[in-house]
Amino acid sequence: MAVPETASTYFRKGFGLKAEVQDSLVSDYSGRLVDLLRARDFQLAAGGVTVQIAREFGFCYGVERAVEYAYQTRTKFPDRRIFLAGEIIHNPHVNDKLRDMGINFLRPGTNGFDFTAVASSDVVIVPAFGVTIGDFETLRAMGVVVVDTTCGSVLNVWKRVDSYARDGFTALIHGKYHHEETRATASQVSKYPGGRYLVVRDMIEARMVCDYIEGRGDRGLLLERLARGASPDFDPDRDLARVGVANQTTMLARESLAIADAVAQAMERARGAEYRARNFRTFDTICSATQDRQDAVEALLQEPLDVMLVVGGYNSSNTISLAAICAARVRTYHIEDAECLDVDRRTIRHRPIGSHSDVEVADWLPAGSVRVGITAGASTPNNKIGETVARVFATRGVVVAESA
């Protein structure tokens, strides 16, 4: 899949225009109130409200790089049509900014993106999640300029899955079968004849796999439940004999590790330790930024918090993971942005864990002295985090100046 970076139609390291786009990036995404929080040991207090923010939150390096390269691309090709394969990241405000810049968004279909509107003279940006091998090969054949912003952590997972398929192991991927990153990761096995993958969403689905490995599972039920995340012609009798575990980089780290351990133990119980040693592989492919944010929110939850706000796109997997961690410990609201807080009505509109629709809650901020924890997904800009902090205080009638 790799294309030599010297090729005139393939760019992975930007265009050397960082200085030219820096002012726009700062204007569009920086937040002075967040800077103030950092300067004050991640905490602000006023009007009986204490806001404490996790020490790792918001844009990670991979997201910053992808967004910056999109801005560089618009600057490099001011007169050419630019398309983006899906969303650059899962944050509506960032994607809306790119639309405002005249970047056209391609929609995914059943068998890849629809490139019918793209001409050979156009530019196509590959998002941070990457694209499938099939989509990449289509772009190469079209001769378009490709700007590849695939995150380095995702590339590391691809290398691991590639090695599994090369050596005859089925890639068991902890992820969401419909997620762009997981689809791209699973496609890596197609480089090898007989390459196989199986996607499991959680420990419940992983246990179905473990039961089958140990001879207790129902073949029809397994195939029915996991068919959408399985490679074509997946055969559990054949394809669960040798297994290598990987994961979507934004999943809950502890669950990924638990799934890997459960599969390993199942193989050992079924066929012995020697068999497991030869036929099971695993590697922790949770990205460091995801891990850092999960660790930071775990540390924040050690504090006496009354409520937790998690800010980020509702389709952002790493944000959902943060919300799940928090919800297990304290009353938690996953909000897309500060607009979810209605100051005048004292309500909050949020997306409960596992739901696909919003819920509005009245009087969400308890009376009296209250401590509010805040974190944000790796695709959430600082300005949106800062706006949320300001609205929390405004709910109590307190105006927090960014220079306070």
pLDDT 10s digits, 288-336: 888 999 999 999 999 999 999 999 999 999 999 999 999 999 999 999 9
Tens digit of pLDDT for each residue in 167-213?
Answer: 999 999 999 999 999 999 999 999 999 999 999 999 999 999 999 99
pLDDT score for 285: 79
Is residue 369 within 8 Å of 399, Cβ to Cβ? no
pLDDT score for 1: 46
Residue 7's pLDDT band (cuts 50, 70, 90): low
309 in the same domain as 266:
no
Q: Is the pLDDT of residue 153 over 90?
A: yes
- Per-residue pLDDT, averaged over 122-147, amounts to 97
Residue 2 lies in a domain: no
Last residue of a domain, one of 286, 319, 337: 286
Tens digit of pLDDT for each residue in 204-261?
Answer: 999 999 999 999 999 999 999 999 999 999 999 999 999 999 999 999 889 999 999 9
The percent of residues in the chain predicted with pLDDT above 70, rounded, is: 97
pLDDT score for 111: 80
Residue 19 lies in a domain: no
87 in the same domain as 46:
no
pLDDT score for 39: 94
Residue 22 lies in a domain: no
Q: What is the mean pLDDT of the chain?
A: 94
- Concerning whether 181 is annotated as a catalytic residue, the answer is yes
253 in the same domain as 160:
yes
Q: Is the pLDDT of residue 138 over 70?
A: yes
Q: Is the pLDDT of residue 403 over 50?
A: no
Residue 224's CATH number: 3.40.1010.20
Q: Is the pLDDT of residue 11 over 80?
A: yes
Last residue of a domain, one of 150, 168, 190: 150
Marked catalytic residue, from 68, 181, 205, 387? 181
Last residue of a domain, one of 286, 309, 332: 286
| Token representation of residue 346 | 């004292």
Residue 158 lies in a domain: yes
Residue 404's pLDDT band (cuts 50, 70, 90): very low
Pairwise pLDDT comparison (163 vs 7), residue with the higher score: 163
How is 361-392 classified by DSSP, letter by letter?
EES-S-SSSEEEEEEE-TT--HHHHHHHHHHH
Q: Is the pLDDT of residue 5 over 70?
A: no
Q: Is the pLDDT of residue 4 over 90?
A: no
67 in the same domain as 84:
yes
| Token representation of residue 319 | 């944000």
Task: Provide the number of structural domains found in the chain.
Answer: 3
Phi, psi of 112 (to 5 degrees): 115, -175
pLDDT score for 402: 58
Q: Is the pLDDT of residue 368 over 60?
A: yes
Antiparallel, parallel or unpaired: β 359-362 and 347-350: antiparallel
pLDDT score for 288: 87
Residue 92 lies in a domain: yes
Look up the domain containing 100 and give its range: 61-150
Contacts of 156 (CB under 8 A, 6+ apart): 285, 287
270 in the same domain as 167:
yes
Q: Is the pLDDT of residue 286 over 90?
A: no
| Token representation of residue 117 | 């509107």
Q: What pTM was computed for the model?
A: 0.92
161 in the same domain as 251:
yes
162 in the same domain as 143:
no
Is residue 316 within 8 Å of 377, Cβ to Cβ? yes
131 in the same domain as 168:
no
- Per-residue pLDDT, averaged over 101-118, amounts to 91
Nearest-angstrom CA–CA distance, 336 and 317: 13
Is residue 246 within 8 Å of 173, Cβ to Cβ? yes
Is residue 164 within 8 Å of 281, Cβ to Cβ? yes
